[in-house]
Chains A and B, each alone.
Chain A
């Protein structure tokens, strides 16, 4: 366990375990609401925010969070108000965010951009400030999700019945979008834009193969998320490969094992 003596590895594990819990926890509701790609949409939309932050000299973490929130709320609003399918709306927002980002980068040619850190994450190079940012926003998201777990399950299963029974469906949907966007904003800094949706979807798909109940699916998705991040980090350290890639590969391998019925 020599690698744990390095403070960068300790920090990576703290942040990794946090997103290992957060992404599948929120992802379970998103996948079952047929919104698997919303994390991807929000993540790509926030690319514009990151580029804008860097160009304006504002903290990209801040603009990332703001753009994630705007993206998430816009996706939710357009899906509800238009007759378009969710994936169509997500694709429009995703392209818009990427277009804004690329345009800003092309205008600000010559500036020192480290956009790769946002695209692919930098789990092994995060500073304490980012850990505090992640914990500060991540822990309330976990608490809120656990508090509202049953109402969120109801709107995930049957929004119309929930509304007819008097549940505040609009508020609960907005809550789900807000906690999803915060989760994506935290995850991007750690795992990168390209991997945010993988961590939200793959552990959930695995959890659904393992458990019969909703509670069991939540628990097994989170367990798979945390295990894959720890294993991925160790593999990344031992084999000197990119941590984001290693984490997703471990996730996919566990998913394939679950498909073969190994965990039954």
Chain B
């Protein structure tokens, strides 16, 4: 029987006077790959922030049954383009989850090496992060997540500004982390067709959760009717 990793019950969240999320309910099992889509301002990023504990629910419950969480937000830092740190330094930060003041050991460096190999960035380890392309930078953050040995990896719009070819490679990498490394993944994305190939569950959020289930059903029950409706309007 599959084991639950996330449970969301009757979740509401309000920014000032406006509800951004209303009555969201779902559970997620370990090793699933959940893709969340929805229009701008539909509460997708807010939902992720509630899951990782950056925000507190106005009402309802968010239960995450692990403390090995890795989160890659939409915007890392406003000084990102100038940030003086090498890929290896960034990836090594993932090891802090095992202790704030511990020094990096030989086995830490082995983990870092392996992670860089997985994301295909070994030869870029001594490059400044800002010298890398958008796709490579995101892969460096994935490597940082991998070395922290997460049970759940949460990504917010990770392919924004990345070209189509590299987007496909990126989703392939996420598929590998999910299937072969058994990491549960939750991703918010605009690229419906790209994520549909990799995810095991698809959710459509627009303040409320309008759909959650099999990606094929999503196309049949949500996306195609919506598109037909749009076509009929035209």
Contact = CB atoms under 8 A, between A and B. Distances in A.
Interface of A: 32, 34, 147-148, 150-151, 153-154, 156-158, 160-168, 207-208, 211-217
A163 B54 contact: yes
Contacts of B154: 164
A153 B90 CA distance: 9
A215 B79 contact: no
B128 A148 contact: no
Instruction: Tell me the dominant secondary structure on chain B's binding face.
Output: mixed
A33 to B, nearest CB: 8
A148 B96 contact: no
Contact of A157 (B83, B86, B128): B83
Nearest to B70: A165
Interface residues of B, number: 35
B126 to A, nearest CB: 7
B84 A164 contact: no
Contact of B86 (A34, A164, A213): A213
Interface in B70-107: 70-73, 76-79, 82-86, 89-90, 92-94, 96-97, 100-101
A165 B71 contact: yes
A212 B100 contact: no
Interface in B145-200: 148, 154
Nearest to A154: B93
B52 interface: yes
Given A157-B76, A161-B72, A167 B126 contact: no
A147 B101 contact: yes
Instruction: Tell me the dominant secondary structure on chain A's binding face.
Output: helix
Contact of B89 (A151, A153, A207): A153
Given A157-B90, A158-B73, A166 B78 contact: no
Contact of A150 (B73, B96, B127): B96
B100 A158 contact: no
A223 B231 CA distance: 66
A166 B71 contact: no
A217 B84 contact: yes
B90 A151 contact: no
Contact of A211 (B52, B69, B84, B94): B84
Contacts of B85: 153, 157, 213-214
Contacts of B39: none
A164 B89 contact: no
Contact of B97 (A160, A165, A216): A165
Given A208-B82, A212-B127, A214-B89, A158 B77 contact: yes
Contacts of A208: 82, 84
B43 to A, nearest CB: 17
Contacts of A165: 69-71, 94, 96-97, 148
B67 interface: yes
A215 B96 contact: no
Contact of B78 (A34, A150, A162): A34
A70 to B, nearest CB: 27
A164 B93 contact: no
Given A213-B84, A217-B84, 11 more contacts: A32-B79, A148-B101, A150-B93, A158-B76, A160-B73, A161-B144, A164-B54, A165-B96, A166-B69, A208-B84, A213-B126
B75 to A, nearest CB: 9
15 contacts: A148-B100, A150-B92, A151-B100, A157-B77, A157-B85, A157-B93, A161-B72, A164-B53, A165-B97, A165-B148, A207-B84, A212-B86, A212-B127, A214-B86, A217-B84
